[in-house]
Amino acid sequence: MKKRRLGKSGLEVSVLGLGCMGMSFAYGPAPDKKEMISLIRKAVELGVTFFDTAEAYGPFVNEELVGEALAPFREHIVIATKFGFKFSPDGKMIGQDSRPEHIREVADASLKRLKTNVIDLFYQHRVDTNVPIEDVAGTVKDLIIEGKVKHFGLSEAGVKTIRCAHAVQPVAALQSEYSLWWRKPEEEVIPTLEELGIGFVPFSPLGKGFLTGKIDEKTTFDKSDFRNIVPRFTPENRKANQALIDMLGRIAENKKATPAQIALAWLIAQKPWIVPIPGTTKLQRLEENIGSVNIELTSKDLSEINEAASKIKVQGDRYPEELEKRTGL
């Protein structure tokens, strides 16, 4: 597996990471824990060194899963987790909380759940408008000095927040949605990251599964699946957005690859400091995703993809309005 550095931070990770959220949360009933531990360990065997989790996934159980799975390999891998929400005693999310004292509480709790003595990359999960970002960055800076955290990250933050945070504590990476079906980061965020030397970690690089080509307007989701409330996933919009899958399929056929592999290879080819973190609960998909690392897209291929994609207008908002309000601040 090839390696990449996330911007100027010095943090080196596999060119493709593994998003672990879906192993406990968001996409229907959680799979068997033992199977997910085996899957995570198989990812390590295949060369993945970068694993993404958060206290909010579950909540809490995903960090415990990741911690248990990776304990035997801890010295050789990088774990990213997140802070920024508060929960009721019964585990329901009840709002945002990036107050300095809460960040410290989360760091200590995450360290225990992850069975480690240091968090490699600690993201603010979403910008908290009630707490100045300078206070957030300053708190993580203190945690770095104390040896509890190695690197500071932001998730779904906008350019203003990124600049203000980076001035207090260098931001190693921004994690935000980015793929062939969500390209808004290209407008302002990616140029800013390049200017400041910050790595980019795209989540949902396969469009929450849509870019695999395995979802169409007839697909039904479990009642607990997050995609049921996503406007882009209404049957009408899925049907309209099939044009994007058809385009990926044509490119994939020429490359003897799958649509998912082309979508990931396209992302990897955008910048040398971009590290996608596709999630999966299936070994077959894990192996398929990792196969994208070896697909070389020429400048001609990339031009062809961009030209074809520019003619396709993706239908539907990527989030319900209330969730979209938390992003890009």
At 82-126, the pLDDT tens digits run 999 999 998 899 999 999 999 999 999 999 999 999 999 999 999
- Give the pLDDT band (50/70/90) at residue 319: very high
202 belongs to a structural domain: yes
**Residue range 197-224: average pLDDT?**
96
Q: Considering only CA atoms, which of 231, 222, 212, 319 is closest in space to residue 25?
A: 222
Provide the pLDDT for residue 255: 95
Question: How many independent structural domains does the chain possess?
Answer: 1
The domain that holds 84 is classified in CATH as 3.20.20.100
Indicate which residue of 57, 123, 178, 319 is catalytic: 57
pLDDT digits (tens, 9 = 90+) for 32-83: 999 999 999 999 999 999 999 999 999 999 999 999 999 999 999 999 999 9
30 belongs to a structural domain: yes
Cα distances (Å, whole numbers) of residue 264 to 176, 238, 279, 304, 313: 15, 20, 12, 16, 20
Q: Which residues of 286-297 are buried (b: 16+ CB within 10 A; e: fewer)?
A: bebbbbbbebeb
240 belongs to a structural domain: no
Provide the pLDDT for residue 233: 97
185 belongs to a structural domain: yes
13 belongs to a structural domain: yes
As a whole number of angstroms, the distance between CA 156 and CA 176 comes to 5
Provide the pLDDT for residue 137: 98
* Percent of the chain topping pLDDT 90: 97
- Active-site residue 57, yes or no? yes
The residues, ordered by sequence, that sit 6+ positions from 253 with a Cβ below 8 Å of its Cβ are: none
pLDDT digits (tens, 9 = 90+) for 8-37: 999 999 999 999 999 999 998 999 999 999
Provide the pLDDT for residue 311: 94
Q: Which residues of 3-26 are buried (b: 16+ CB within 10 A; e: fewer)?
A: ebbbbebebebbbbbbbbbbbbbb
229 belongs to a structural domain: no
**Residue range 176-202: average pLDDT?**
98
- Give the pLDDT band (50/70/90) at residue 282: very high
Residue 240 has pLDDT above 90, yes or no: yes
Provide the pLDDT for residue 176: 98
171 belongs to a structural domain: yes
pLDDT digits (tens, 9 = 90+) for 248-266: 999 999 999 999 999 999 9
As a whole number of angstroms, the distance between CA 177 and CA 200 comes to 10
Residue 287 has pLDDT above 90, yes or no: yes
Strand 78-83 relative to strand 12-14: parallel, antiparallel, unpaired?
unpaired
Average pLDDT, the chain: 97
Residue 326 has pLDDT above 90, yes or no: no
Residue 221 has pLDDT above 90, yes or no: yes
Provide the pLDDT for residue 217: 95
Q: Which structural domain, as residue segments, surrounds residue 71?
A: 3-212+268-295
305 belongs to a structural domain: no
Q: Are 122 and 136 in contact (CB under 8 A)?
A: no
Provide the pLDDT for residue 32: 97
